Amino acid sequence: MTNKLIRQKITDLNVCVIIPTYNNQRTLKRVLNGVLELTNNIIVVNDGSTDTTSTILKEYQQLQQIHFPKNKGKGLALKEGFKLAVSLGYQFAITIDSDGQHFPIDIPNFINELELNNSKDMLIIGSRNMEQEGVPGKSSFGNKFSNFWFWVETGIKLKDTQSGFRLYPLNVIKNLKFYTTKFEFEIEVIVKTAWKDVEVKNIPIQVLYDETERVSHFRPFKDFTRISILNTWLVFLTLIYYLPRRFLRNIKKKGLKKFFVEDLLGSNDSPKKKALSIALGTFIGFSPLWGFHTFLVLTLAIFLKLNKAISFAFSNVSLPPFIPFIIFASLELGQWVLGENISYSIEDLMDNFEAIEHLKTYLVGSFTLAIIGAIVFGFIGYIFFSLSNRKKMTLKND
């Protein structure tokens, strides 16, 4: 495909290229000239460079430029670039690093992917081959770390979540609120974009790590700490809001019956995995850890690699109408285990029962009920799903 054709496609699709730069005097001109072969829709953000970057950029007066007097961080540089791109009427922005690790000749890959998807809002991340020779070990580890947490937070599996070579949908980005300003911004932006139900995907790109000319501004301790704090917050939001919301939206979209058949019964998980998911949900639902049920069940389902939908569904055995009966059963079991005899009624539980007075009995009974419930419901679930699988296999053979 000729550069002339790509240039026309970039114009037709309303795409610009944003190049944030900070003290990359050795590679900046090469990156700029490479992008200029494909488009003049370029925004350069000079993030307070102290080398000859400003002098180099004087040779490119035809380009849109933003200059920070002091270094403010890549995240803020990208946000200012996005703002300018939106004000200029662009719908998509490709970001490419100025340190020479990315090849401008890969820009057509992003444009072709966008065109194939009928220019719909999507976020495309260039996937580097992290196994190739010359890739720093810390970069490979950091990428795997980031990929894992992105999957936890969004349910989307990607090969590369840290590459700065990306295509952003500006119509979505402009309406989101971001709170980070450094390298962690590139994680915040893809997670929040995915939460808006925008497709996030990888496409392969080339990468070059030339330590003789490349300048990395990543500070392992400070930036890794920032990223860890951000991921902790995003995981918390995922567990208390976005996963339950996704679960409830799926029920609303499909209807309870269809959701139950497709997502619960129709899951490709084995009967054993489904049964263990039921057991986990039932245990958490009957446990006395009120207020933390959703957080705990989704966290454990993720880390134990169980079915999140099934676990969450069965954790709701403790819906408000059932709570007095659960407490009643817990107290009865607690008395039996501890050999006590307490006088109360269901009315006491619903009106003025003071649980703290019999807290030990309640806690012992509650965990006993949780264990018994998990075993019983898990066993019944295993039998049910095993018979369902056999029935399916029989119908297929017929």
Q: Would you give per-residue pLDDT tens digits along the chain (398 residues)?
A: 688 899 999 999 999 999 999 999 999 999 999 999 999 999 999 999 999 999 999 999 999 999 999 999 999 999 999 999 999 999 999 999 999 999 999 999 999 999 998 878 999 999 988 666 655 555 666 778 888 889 888 888 899 998 999 999 999 999 999 999 888 999 999 999 999 999 999 999 998 876 655 556 555 557 667 888 888 888 888 878 887 887 777 777 777 777 666 666 556 788 898 899 999 999 999 888 877 787 788 888 877 888 887 888 888 887 767 777 788 888 888 888 888 887 665 555 555 445 446 778 888 888 999 999 999 999 999 998 888 778 767 765 65
Nearest 5°: the CA angle 346, 352, 358 is 75
Is 28 exposed, middle or buried (CB count within 10 Å of its CB: 0-12, 13-18, 19+)?
A: buried
Under a CB-based contact definition with an 8 Å cutoff, are residues 230 and 180 in contact?
Answer: yes
- Whether 159 and 262 map to the same domain: the answer is no
Q: Does 233 fall in a domain?
A: no
Q: Does 239 fall in a domain?
A: no
Domain extent, residue 328, equals 255-397
- Whole-number pLDDT of residue 344: 62
Q: Does 229 fall in a domain?
A: no
Q: Does 103 fall in a domain?
A: yes
Final residue in a domain of this structure, among 164, 199, 218: 218
The widest CA-to-CA distance across the chain, in whole angstroms, is: 89
Give the residue carrying structure tokens 């009865």: 332
The CATH number assigned to the domain holding 37 equals 3.90.550.10
- Whether 72 and 207 map to the same domain: the answer is yes
Q: Does 305 fall in a domain?
A: yes
d(CA 105, CA 102): 9
Edge-to-edge strand ranges of the sheet holding 42-46 = 64-67, 42-46, 15-21, 92-95, 166-169, 122-127, 199-204
Number of domains in the chain: 2
pLDDT in tens, 232-263: 888 888 878 887 887 777 777 777 777 666 66
Helix 293-303 × helix 308-315 angle, to 10°: 150
- Whether 199 and 277 map to the same domain: the answer is no
**Alpha-helical segments (H) within the chain:** 3-12, 28-36, 53-57, 74-87, 107-116, 137-154, 170-173, 185-195, 220-237, 243-254, 256-259, 271-286, 293-303, 308-315, 323-338, 346-350, 359-397
- Whether 307 and 365 map to the same domain: the answer is yes
- Whole-number pLDDT of residue 355: 47
- Whether 68 and 211 map to the same domain: the answer is yes
Polymer length in residues for the chain = 398
Q: Does 249 fall in a domain?
A: no
- Whether 139 and 67 map to the same domain: the answer is yes
- Whether 17 and 145 map to the same domain: the answer is yes
DSSP state of 242: I
**pTM (2 d.p.):** 0.69
- Whether 299 and 205 map to the same domain: the answer is no
Q: Does 93 fall in a domain?
A: yes
- Whether 184 and 73 map to the same domain: the answer is yes
- Whether 186 and 264 map to the same domain: the answer is no
- Whole-number pLDDT of residue 264: 60
- Whether 82 and 157 map to the same domain: the answer is yes
- Whether 205 and 264 map to the same domain: the answer is no
Q: Does 142 fall in a domain?
A: yes
- 167 Cβ contact partners less than 8 Å away, ≥ 6 residues apart: 15, 92, 93, 94, 110, 113, 114, 122, 123, 124
- 178 Cβ contact partners less than 8 Å away, ≥ 6 residues apart: 75, 79, 185, 188, 189, 192
